[in-house]
Amino acid sequence: MRADPGGSARPPRALGAACGIVAAFAGLAVAEPVAAVVRPEASPVTAVGAVAVDLTPQPVREWAIAVFGTADKAVLTVGILAVLAAVAAGAGLLAVRRPPAGIAVAGGFGLLGAAAALGRPQGSWQDALPSLAGGLAAAGALALLAAAARRPRPARAPAGGAWALNRRGFGRLVLGVLAVSSAAGLAGRRLGAHGSAGATASRAGLVLPPPAVPAPPVPAGADLRVPGLPSFLTSARDFYRVDTALVVPRTDAGSWRLRIHGEGVARPLSLGLGELLARPLVQHDITLCCVSNEVGGPYAGNARWLGVPLADLLREAGVRPPSRGGPADQLVARSIDGMTLGTPVETVMDGRAALLAVGMNGEPLPFAHGFPVRMVVPGLYGYVSACKWLTELRLTTFAAYDAYWVRRGWARQAPVKTQSRIDTPRPYAALRPGRVAVAGVAWAQHRGIRRVEVRVDGGPWQQARLGAADGVDTWRQWVWPWEASAGPHMLEVRATDGTGAVQTEVRSGTVPDGATGLHRVRVQVRALG
Ligand SMILES: Nc1nc2c(c(=O)[nH]1)N[C@H]1C(S)=C(S)[C@@H](COP(=O)(O)O)O[C@H]1N2
Ligand SMILES: [Mo]
Phi/psi-derived region of residue 296, left when phi > 0, alpha when psi is between -120 and 50, beta in every other case: left
Residue of the CA atom closest to atom 13 of ligand 1: 382
- Residue type (1 letter), 379: G
Q: How confident is the model at residue 124 (pLDDT cuts 50, 70, 90)?
A: confident
pLDDT at 64: 80
* Main-chain phi, psi angles of 255, to 5 degrees: -105, 0
CA pair distance 457, 483, nearest whole angstrom: 13
What value does the mean pLDDT take over residues 235-242? Answer: 96
Does the Cβ of 404 fall within 6 Å of ligand 1?
no
Atom of ligand 1 nearest to the CA of 370: 20
What value does the mean pLDDT take over residues 279-298? Answer: 97
pLDDT per residue over 202-211, tens digit each? 999 999 999 9
* Angle at 506 (CA atoms; ends 500, 510), nearest 5 degrees: 100
Task: List the 476-484 sheet strands across, edge first.
Answer: 419-424, 434-443, 476-484, 465-466
The DSSP call for residue 460 is -
Work out whether the CA dihedral 449, 455, 459, 460 comes out positive or negative: negative
Does the Cβ of 375 fall within 6 Å of ligand 1?
no
> For helices 44-55 and 99-118, what crossing angle results, to 10°?
60
How many angstroms from the chain centroid is the CA of residue 474?
23
pLDDT per residue over 185-233, tens digit each? 999 888 888 888 999 999 999 999 999 999 999 999 999 999 999 999 9
**If you average pLDDT over every residue of the chain, what do you get?**
92
* Main-chain phi, psi angles of 178, to 5 degrees: -65, -40
Does the Cβ of 93 fall within 6 Å of ligand 1?
no
Distance (Å) from CA 216 to ligand 2 centroid = 28
What value does the mean pLDDT take over residues 366-382? Answer: 98
**70-79, Cβ contacts within 8 angstroms, sequence gap of 24 or more:** 70/240, 70/241, 70/242, 73/49, 73/246, 76/49, 76/52, 76/246, 77/45, 77/49, 77/246
How many angstroms from the chain centroid is the CA of residue 270?
28
pLDDT top residue among 517 and 52 = 517
pLDDT at 11: 80
Beta strands in 158-280 (DSSP E): 257-262, 269-272
Cβ–Cβ contacts within 10 Å for residue 321, how many?
20
Q: How confident is the model at residue 159 (pLDDT cuts 50, 70, 90)?
A: low
Pairing outcome for strands 519-525 and 430-431: parallel
pLDDT at 345: 98
* Angle at 478 (CA atoms; ends 477, 481), nearest 5 degrees: 150
Residue of the CA atom closest to atom 21 of ligand 1: 241
Asked if 369 contacts 352 with a C-beta cutoff of 8 angstroms, the reply is no
pLDDT at 162: 61
CA pair distance 277, 203, nearest whole angstrom: 14
Cβ–Cβ contacts within 10 Å for residue 370, how many?
25
* Site to substitute for ligand 1 among 242, 405, 416, most atoms within 8 A of C-beta: 242
**pLDDT over 70 (residue 77):** yes
* Main-chain phi, psi angles of 465, to 5 degrees: -85, 135
Q: How confident is the model at residue 58 (pLDDT cuts 50, 70, 90)?
A: confident
Per the DSSP assignment, residues forming a β-bridge with 152 are: 165
**pLDDT over 50 (residue 277):** yes
pLDDT at 155: 54
Does the Cβ of 56 fall within 6 Å of ligand 1?
no
pLDDT at 5: 45
Per the DSSP assignment, residues forming a β-bridge with 286 are: 303
Q: What is the pTM of this model?
A: 0.88
First to last CA, the chain: 60
pLDDT at 1: 42
Does the Cβ of 244 fall within 6 Å of ligand 1?
yes
Task: From residue 528, give the alpha-carbon distance in Å to each of 127, 433, 476, 490.
Answer: 64, 9, 35, 20
What value does the mean pLDDT take over residues 501-521? Answer: 97
What value does the mean pLDDT take over residues 75-98? Answer: 91
Contacts of 226 (CB under 8 A, 6+ apart): 424, 437, 439, 477, 479
pLDDT at 65: 74
Atom of ligand 1 nearest to the CA of 388: 3
Q: Which has the minimum average pLDDT: 60-69, 163-172, 308-317, 343-352?
A: 60-69
pLDDT at 9: 64
Asked if 50 contacts 246 with a C-beta cutoff of 8 angstroms, the reply is yes
Distance (Å) from CA 335 to ligand 2 centroid = 15
What value does the mean pLDDT take over residues 13-40? Answer: 91
Smallest CA-to-CA distance from 393 within 466, 334, 465, 342 is with 334
Distance (Å) from CA 497 to ligand 2 centroid = 21
What value does the mean pLDDT take over residues 126-148? Answer: 93
Cβ–Cβ contacts within 10 Å for residue 216, how many?
9
pLDDT top residue among 335 and 165 = 335
Per the DSSP assignment, residues forming a β-bridge with 283 are: 306
pLDDT per residue over 410-440, tens digit each? 999 999 999 999 999 999 999 999 999 999 9
> For helices 13-38 and 167-195, what crossing angle results, to 10°?
20
> What is the DSSP track for 184-245?
HHHHHHHHHHHHTHHHHHHHHT--PPPPSBPPPPPPGGG----TTSPPSSPPTTTS----S-
* Number of the ligand closest to the Cα of 386: 1
Smallest CA-to-CA distance from 413 within 281, 291, 518, 249 is with 291
pLDDT per residue over 146-156, tens digit each? 988 887 666 55
Residue of the CA atom closest to atom 5 of ligand 1: 243
Bond prior to 309 in cis (omega within 30° of 0)? no
Cβ–Cβ contacts within 10 Å for residue 206, how many?
18
**pLDDT over 80 (residue 126):** yes
Residue of the CA atom closest to atom 20 of ligand 1: 369
Smallest CA-to-CA distance from 489 within 436, 448, 428 is with 428
Asked if 303 contacts 286 with a C-beta cutoff of 8 angstroms, the reply is yes
Asked if 141 contacts 22 with a C-beta cutoff of 8 angstroms, the reply is yes
Distance (Å) from CA 388 to ligand 1 centroid = 6
